[in-house]
Amino acid sequence: MDFLQNNLIYSIPLLGILGIIVMAVKSAWVNKQDAGDKNMQELAGYIADGAMAFLKAEWKVLSIFAVFAAALLAYSGTITEINGKPFHSSWIISISFLIGAFFSALAGYIGMKVATKANVRTTQAARTSLKQALKVSFTGGTVMGLGVAGLAVLGLGGLFIVFLSYFDVIGTDGAVSVVNMKTAIEVLTGFSLGAESIALFARVGGGIYTKAADVGADLVGKVEAGIPEDDVRNPATIADNVGDNVGDVAGMGADLFGSYVATILATMVLGQEIDAKTDNFGGMSPILLPMVICGLGIIFSIIGTWFVTIKDEKSNVQNALNLGNWSSIVITAVASFFIVKWMLPATLSLRGYEFTSMNVFYAIMVGLVVGTIMSIVTEYYTAMGKAPVNSIIQQSSTGHATNIIAGLSVGMKSTVIPILVLAAGIMSSYYFAGLYGVAIAAAGMMATTAMQLAIDAFGPIADNAGGIAEMSQLPPEVRERTDNLDAVGNTTAATGKGFAIASAALTSLALFAAFVGIAGITAIDIYKAPVLAGLFVGGMIPFVFSALCIQAVGKAAMDMVQEVRRQFREIPGIMEYKAKPEYEKCVAISTKASIREMMLPGAIALITPVLVGFTFGPEVLGGLLAGVTVSGVLMGIFQSNAGGAWDNAKKSFEKGVEINGEMYFKKSEPHKASVTGDTVGDPFKDTSGPSMNILIKLMSIVSLVIAPYIAISASNADKVIEVRAQTEIIKTIDSAGVERTDTIKNDIDTLVNR
């Protein structure tokens, strides 16, 4: 036990390496599966080549951004003093940033690489049984999940060990230097900043790509030409399938990699403020705890994957995935009890709030419960056969407009329970362990990220498998099996987005608390006009961000529609299968549009906190962050759930639905209305909606990085203490009934304004 205590910190990156080893084993298994006939492999090759072409084009642009941003961070790290206060940073933060950016891009690449191999192998497996198709597609998703979690734990744990040594955090006598620890963790924030920056561009760029292709393919292929969604004759169908990989796989991988890292880091930043000298880890147990829980979460997620299996064609795929998810959550809950009792001292305190180690465990339970409830609620609002989706189906019978109205209504109503659950989770976790409780609750929720992402990534693999089956004109039973997986995948994708948004809300609050501490402010006073203005501007940003994302999809989709119409018009023999469409031209349209249009939304997230912080100060920036967080969480839930419900309402017509006693199928008028709803919902659920969680976290991390530069000076801190003292005098005088409060209040106003 002494050996483990003395070497616990070194076990953290080893857990990440374990995840990567298991990932490699599962990836090799996927590669060994049968890839089908020559035609299937050719179609899969088009998809893989298109996905790689997009990533290369995206990486060229992002590499320029990364180098420029790293140079700025390196310069900032050379500053040693600001407003008379020592500044705890180093030029090494630029290296940390570049490593975070690289790992984020690598996580997306790993997922996309295996997804483009697993898709055609899932199609081939579906020719034999639903059970084998699920096994191949879910194993492909597992590679993605383990790759993201393994790289995150390896990167954070490994860099933390390096920085502890480089900045001499632990002295020869074993004592921890508080000042040097601040420097180490400040530099470590660069890793999270790099990860979230790449995640935002990957998510927005991938989302624009996939939905431009999807909308273009649907409008011309299904609506105008009347051919199936993934018909080989549709020039945009390859771009559509490529989009599933670059958006829902590479984009989602980078997204959850950033969320995972930001959650752990936020807890570490708050953990360094806790006095835990009585523990057995040199007082570092509150800092190490989130990394240990998330590292062990990789093992618990691996165990959870063993439960994802079905018996026969009639088995419920959703139940199998739920069993795997819940088993990993339960194991995490049980293990957390022993980890917390072993690592943390009996009592702790953060910013005057005292709590016990058991209270920390209760906060972790809150995070796991919140994540579970969010998944259940999201599944209810987006799954086929449930009341919300059925309501959209019923209202499709009266036309396109009522379908749109029904979908918007479902999306808006779906915010109620998640927000109440989040509010209860925030209050409960704070009650148990203060701000550290909120942060560790988010870390507990993210502990099973490998499992969550495996479930999420399986969806686009199944979607691609269905597309290849359609394009290869395989027997109907093959498409039925892939459609079964795809419909469940739509729900799991929505569930994953709801999970990511919930974790982002808790993580942003933790980052916000860390920002307040570093910036030297004690409260965000909305009675002050500039702060209230910042709150309103912050609330507006998610709307502008969403508008730019949706507008970008619209622009790119128009180009795609024109290209598909041109090919149908100018290339004779396409509709008779006598000529091949020019797939590469549609791929190029989506690639160029996504790279071009992703820049402005990304710039808003990165530049706005810097402008507001340096122009108006930390308190106004705090108001801005509060507005962005509340508005962004609501927008994210609304858009993701509305889009998911629209999508599954459309898919319901493939098996047939009953409306007012009459059965309706594909190509019926209600089905056409549902296609319109799905087209509107596409950019909601796959572009702007899931980008909300990155937006709010990235703005919080940027604010945390610049906090030392805009922090109030030492003299201002003294004024705040004086204000607090005079506030106590006011309370005493008020209770005594003496009428001299106005003069003292004026003195306080003068101090604050000064």
In terms of Cα–Cα distance, which of 198, 189, 168 is closest to 180? 168
- Phi and psi at 227, nearest 5°, equal -105, 160
Q: Could you tell me the two tokens for 72? A: 């700025």
Could you list the beta-strand ranges (E) of 68-208.
81-82, 85-86
DSSP state of 221: I
pLDDT bracket for residue 734 (50, 70, 90):
very low
* Angle at the Cα of 297 from the Cα atoms of 292 and 302, rounded to 5 degrees: 140
pTM: 0.83
pLDDT for residue 140 is more than 50: yes
pLDDT for residue 81 is more than 70: no
Question: How does pLDDT run across 219-276, given as a tens digit for each residue?
Answer: 777 667 677 666 778 888 888 888 778 877 888 888 888 888 888 888 888 888 888 7
Give the per-residue pLDDT at 278: 79
Question: How does pLDDT run across 613-650, given as a tens digit for each residue?
Answer: 999 989 999 999 999 999 999 999 999 899 989 988 98
Residues 6+ apart with CB under 8 A from 159: 96, 99, 188, 191
pLDDT for residue 609 is more than 90: yes
Mean pLDDT is lowest, of 204-213, 620-629, 647-656, for 204-213
Cα–Cα distance measured from residue 439 to residue 462, given in angstroms and rounded to the nearest whole number: 35
Cα–Cα distance measured from residue 130 to residue 247, given in angstroms and rounded to the nearest whole number: 26
What is the three-class DSSP state of 354?
strand
Give the per-residue pLDDT at 733: 47
Question: How does pLDDT run across 469-489, given as a tens digit for each residue?
Answer: 888 888 888 888 888 887 787
pLDDT bracket for residue 679 (50, 70, 90):
confident
Cα–Cα distance measured from residue 232 to residue 464, given in angstroms and rounded to the nearest whole number: 13
pLDDT for residue 751 is more than 60: no
Q: For the chain, give the percent of residues with pLDDT over 90.
A: 27
pLDDT for residue 5 is more than 80: no
Question: How does pLDDT run across 499-518, given as a tens digit for each residue?
Answer: 777 777 887 888 888 888 77
pLDDT for residue 14 is more than 90: yes
Break the chain into its structural domains and give their ranges: 1-713+724-742
Residue 688, CB-side half-sphere exposure with 13 Å CA sphere: 28
Q: For the chain, give the percent of residues with pLDDT over 70.
A: 91
- Report the run of H or E that residue 659 belongs to, with start and end: strand 657-659
Mean pLDDT of 714-720: 42
Give the per-residue pLDDT at 722: 42
pLDDT bracket for residue 715 (50, 70, 90):
very low
pLDDT bracket for residue 87 (50, 70, 90):
low
Give the per-residue pLDDT at 612: 94
Mean pLDDT of 409-413: 94
What's the mean pLDDT when you consider all of the chain? 83
pLDDT bracket for residue 427 (50, 70, 90):
very high
Phi-psi region of 674 (alpha: psi -120 to 50; beta: other; left: phi over 0): alpha
Question: How does pLDDT run across 525-582, given as a tens digit for each residue?
Answer: 888 999 999 999 999 999 999 998 888 888 888 888 888 888 888 888 888 878 888 8
Question: How does pLDDT run across 326-384, given as a tens digit for each residue?
Answer: 899 999 999 999 999 999 998 888 888 889 999 999 999 999 898 888 888 888 998 88
Give the per-residue pLDDT at 82: 63
Give the per-residue pLDDT at 542: 94
- Report the run of H or E that residue 693 belongs to, with start and end: helix 689-710
Q: Residue written as tokens 């402010």?
A: 521
Give the per-residue pLDDT at 721: 38
Give the per-residue pLDDT at 584: 83
Highest mean pLDDT among 161-175, 552-566, 603-617: 603-617
pLDDT for residue 110 is more than 50: yes
